[in-house]
Amino acid sequence: MSLLFSSSLHFFPPSAFPTSLCYQLHHPFAAFSSSPPAAGTSLSPGFRHNFRTGPLYCSPSSSMSLEESTSTSQLEDSLLYSRAFWVSKHVIAWNVEVESGSCYLFASKMATLRVEDGVVEGYDVKIRLEKDRSQLPENVIKKFPHIQNYCPFTVPPASDVEALLKCQLAVATFNSYGECKNITCLQLPGVLDDLFSYEGPLGAIYSKEAVSLYLWAPTAQAVRAQIFRDPVGGMPFEVIPLEEVDGIWRTKGPKSWKGCYYEYEVTVYHPSTLQVEKCFTTDPYSRGVSSDGRRTLFVDLFSDDLIPKGWDKLADEKPPVDSFSDISIYELHVRDFSISDQSVHPDLRGGYMAFTLQDSAGINHLKKLSNAGLSHVHLLPTFQFGGVDDDKTKWKFVDTELLENLPPDSAEQQSLIADIQNSDGYNWGYNPIMWGVPKGSYASDSNGPCRLVEFRKMVQALNQIGLRVVLDVVYNHLHGHGPFDPNSVLDKIVPGYYLRRNTDGFIENSTCVNNTASEHFMVERMIVDDILHWVVDYKVDGFRFDLMGHLMKSTMLKAKDALRGLTKEKNGVDGSSIYIYGEGWDFGEVAKNGRGVNASQFNLFGTGIGSFNDRVRDAILGGSPFGHPLQQGFVTGLLLEPNDHDHGTHEVAESMLAVSKDHIEVAMAANLRDYILTNFEGKEVKGLEVLTHDRSPVAYASCPTETVNYVSAHDNETLFDIVSLKTPRNITVDDRCRINHLATSIIALSQGIPFFHCGDELLRSKSMDRDSYNSGDWFNRLDFTYMTNNWGVGLPLKEKNQYNWPLIKPRLADPSFKPSKSHILAAVENFTNLLQIRYSSPLFRLKTSNAIQKRVRFHNSGTSLIPGLIVMSIEDGHNGIPGLSQLDSTYSYIVVVVNARPTEISFPCPALRAKTLQLHPIQLMSTDPVVKNSTYEPSTGCFMVPPRTTSVFVEPRMHE
């Protein structure tokens, strides 16, 4: 999920969820948890505690609120909701008033609570609660700000709270006549955190003689481990009851269990069914699983047979990262990388092992990027996710030869793909089932430890060609929930805890489905544990957090601090070299700190954690993922080369273009909140004073590494496709290719972290598919032989694109839109040149906000600016001369001129007169004949730059 409609808060309608965020929106169960659940059938076993019992009679005339009474049927339905919160051992919060009446807590071990004719029945325990006239405690309000105005009720100190938490629970209020006014079930995360927060071992722990199992399940009534010899089928050869101590269920078994499989049988009350259920699930701390994650594999990751040759030395051999400012990121999908690569053996295509080859087309391309300076490869989700069967024999395919013979604007390709899209081998992977295990479909064998070894070999191989590895982690939601869903794990073990619920008790779905709640202690702990696991056990080098804004800021800071504590000596990795970043969008129930201080763009100021800068994307391309698809931006022709879209009057379009220029300049200065520049009105303003259309600040960063600049990502149309959509139809494919180069140049030459989608440098097309998460290999094809960019392979899938088909169809049908191999080769060269230029000088990678403020200037500013032109200079100091320190031994001054105009531009700049500037040597040696026509005249300070071109001028130190 991710950046498809990714946008900062200023683009989200108040009630809208970003469809980007979720390629899963079509799933029929996505809205299930927002509705009252259906009742289940199973019952619990006997209970060891002796509870007082006795009937409690309620008046048929009951009240659901202070203002209005409600019918008996409504009162009976109230047990479908969980509107009260048990927030600490002795405090329950509920938004009701008791006045002169009373409030009681009811518990049923067998989950038989019911209200019939206004009478509460089926309980084992009834406890009177005392109304506290003060507010909720400050620590409770901080943790649960959405219930800060609820009334606190005190649970008597003598109550056996630990035993009660294993029951079905409800609270009810009564008036002074004993008439029932209100009744509801409870949400328990607060009290579970208060009583059972735990930092000890979890999962399977191996010693020389035995293996021990630890499971956190404080609400469970019983837990058994079923041990199997095989990954699927058969009966368990052992069934071991676990013993509980303080919410931790544990047992110890023989070392002979290694290589076997197990699953847990958890007997627990489940609020989604209002029943005690027997849930069967894997271990949430699994480090190996069977195919499709149905059973946990007993596997010791430190076994010699799981360690690739040279693994222990990898930390010392990794490509160096002297500063996070030196990072550049290339986003890549594991299957996309090799599934269409004919130079890869068929058995290895689409999987981890394709990265270990020495001379495939894809590997040679990555080597080319690495040699140019690229530092990190960001892999789309590689944990165990849903949507793709691990068993490859079950996959369905479409005849590629048939697809290739269809017209470029035909609807038949997408129809054939749609018929098998949920049964093929393709999915982006943003539907997590188990966070801590590599995905089985990318391995040669999804059973046993094969996936673990091959994943390690992939990381090792990428490191050895000079590329560090970033994992795309999805902690904001889970694919399954409830006691019966085979993709549900955590919600079977401690129901109602791991998934965030609304004030009615139903699961929040603003991230698409089953939002997780990192504000809960053990959820946060599991996220941090998982991050450490991937770094220590798989030696990965960074993390991109999907929908990071739905996690708490504290979670991100704990993860960062935990990583910083890792050392080569103690852990085999250097934690200080791990970079973390993510999507800091602020929406849904967490918006404006609705569930605590969340990890949104503005809240992360000063943390050193990066977040995606959607402002620069929208300014460069135009509009936003929520706007009109033809809305133009800085490089796509706004004002200067208009398309058929109505952008308003000339004055309106001119103002829009000037505003987009300001946004881009702020981004090129790392989107720093306090960076001072002259805006299009001629005013000196800080980055935070440059505003979006809804008056939100553009800038949010305190330092350059808190900004991840990008113009395209896996979500939305590819860069080439969006350029082809927004530019006028009558321009040439040569022009569109130059615009593609222009967009990537802005990202590559900006301060901050540059981020590129795989294929930006190949003019990659997905036939204008705006959401290819499940569009199969056909629409997601990559060709590292540079023969084709995949343009015109049919209309994209109807589900997400049909409303744009009238715009897409004539473009796909027009053969003049399709680039040739020469265009693709030129794009690859342009991209590698940009990387080489970025890494030719540390001035493009300044490390502090102070350095950027002192050295970076923009020259085409104020009311007399030339539309469509950005002129940025970066100044270096001189050894032995007061003022700026010297950072670059090669160049003393750099000027970047971005000309988005369709014509050559002449720009005299008195401030840059008498410099000894010349075109960058890399551009002088380029095969691009256009950029070589760029000139600079020292006597006038005049720059001449060709149309749709970014030219870089440098002042060599040899001229000093």
Please write the tens of the pLDDT for every residue from 96-109: 988 888 999 999 99
Nearest Cα to 867, choosing from 575, 645, 633, 691? 633
Q: Are residues 746 and 851 in the same domain?
A: yes
Tell me what the mean pLDDT of segment 605-632 comes to. Answer: 96
H/E run at residue 724:
helix 719-726
pLDDT greater at residue 627 or residue 687: 687
Q: Are residues 133 and 155 in the same domain?
A: yes
Tell me what the mean pLDDT of segment 900-910 comes to. Answer: 97
Look at residue 314 and tell me if it is in a domain: no
- The model's pLDDT over 835-885, given as tens digits with 9 standing for 90+, comes to 999 999 999 999 999 999 999 999 999 999 999 999 999 999 999 999 999
The catalytically annotated residue of 300, 326, 508, 583 is: 583
Q: Are residues 793 and 888 in the same domain?
A: no
Tell me, what's the pLDDT at 709? 98
Look at residue 857 and tell me if it is in a domain: yes
Tell me what the mean pLDDT of segment 67-80 comes to. Answer: 70
Look at residue 471 and tell me if it is in a domain: no
Q: Are residues 244 and 113 in the same domain?
A: no
Whole-number Å distance between alpha carbons of 626 and 396: 34
> Which CATH number does the domain housing residue 299 bear?
2.60.40.10
583 is catalytic: yes
* CA angle (732 as vertex; 730, 734 as ends), nearest 5: 160
Whole-number Å distance between alpha carbons of 761 and 748: 12
Look at residue 99 and tell me if it is in a domain: yes
Tell me what the mean pLDDT of segment 446-472 comes to. Answer: 98
> Which CATH number does the domain housing residue 660 bear?
3.20.20.80
pLDDT confidence band for 25 (50 / 70 / 90): very low
Nearest Cα to 549, choosing from 5, 4, 8, 30? 8
The catalytically annotated residue of 194, 409, 541, 546 is: 546
pLDDT confidence band for 119 (50 / 70 / 90): confident
Is the pLDDT reported for residue 743 higher than 70?
yes
Is the pLDDT reported for residue 70 higher than 70?
no
Is the pLDDT reported for residue 20 higher than 60?
no
Number of domains into which the chain is organized: 4
Is the pLDDT reported for residue 893 higher than 60?
yes
Tell me, what's the pLDDT at 180? 87
Is the pLDDT reported for residue 155 higher than 70?
yes
Q: Are residues 803 and 660 in the same domain?
A: no
Q: Are residues 654 and 759 in the same domain?
A: yes
pLDDT above 70 covers a percentage of the chain that reads 92
- The model's pLDDT over 86-98, given as tens digits with 9 standing for 90+, comes to 999 999 999 998 8
> Which CATH number does the domain housing residue 186 bear?
2.60.40.1130
Q: Domain boundary residue among 283, 306, 329?
A: 306
Buried/exposed 608-639: b ≥16 CB within 10 Å, e otherwise: bbbbbbbbbbbbbbbbbbeeebbbbbbbbbbb
Tell me, what's the pLDDT at 959? 52
Instruction: For residue 420, give the 3-state DSSP assignment.
Output: helix
Amino acid letter for position 587: F
Q: Are residues 712 and 842 in the same domain?
A: yes
pLDDT confidence band for 450 (50 / 70 / 90): very high
Tell me what the mean pLDDT of segment 817-839 comes to. Answer: 98
Q: Are residues 715 and 853 in the same domain?
A: yes
Whole-number Å distance between alpha carbons of 844 and 854: 13
pLDDT confidence band for 117 (50 / 70 / 90): confident
Tell me, what's the pLDDT at 99? 82
Its sign, for the CA torsion 707, 708, 710, 715, is negative
Q: Domain boundary residue among 272, 288, 306?
A: 306
Q: Domain boundary residue among 140, 170, 191?
A: 191
Look at residue 677 and tell me if it is in a domain: yes
- The model's pLDDT over 390-418, given as tens digits with 9 standing for 90+, comes to 999 999 999 999 999 999 999 999 999 99
Look at residue 122 and tell me if it is in a domain: yes
Tell me, what's the pLDDT at 118? 79
Look at residue 65 and tell me if it is in a domain: no
Taking a C-beta distance cutoff of 8 angstroms, is the pair 125, 165 a contact? no
Range of the domain at 697: 612-763+819-956
Whole-number Å distance between alpha carbons of 633 and 704: 24
- The model's pLDDT over 527-586, given as tens digits with 9 standing for 90+, comes to 999 999 999 999 999 999 999 999 999 999 999 999 999 999 999 999 999 999 999 999
Of 42-56, 673-687, 774-788, 835-849, minimum mean pLDDT range: 42-56
Is the pLDDT reported for residue 50 higher than 90?
no
Look at residue 923 and tell me if it is in a domain: yes
491 is catalytic: no
Q: Are residues 116 and 209 in the same domain?
A: no
Whole-number Å distance between alpha carbons of 844 and 552: 32
pLDDT above 90 covers a percentage of the chain that reads 89
Q: Are residues 854 and 828 in the same domain?
A: yes
Tokens 């009105």 belong to residue:
681
Residues 6+ apart with CB under 8 A from 466: 319, 367, 370, 371
* Phi, psi dihedrals of residue 713, rounded to the nearest 5°: -155, -175
Average pLDDT score, the chain: 92
Is the pLDDT reported for residue 905 higher than 70?
yes
- The model's pLDDT over 929-942, given as tens digits with 9 standing for 90+, comes to 999 999 999 999 99
Residues 6+ apart with CB under 8 A from 319: 370, 375, 463, 466, 467, 468
Q: Are residues 697 and 644 in the same domain?
A: yes
Q: Are residues 801 and 843 in the same domain?
A: no
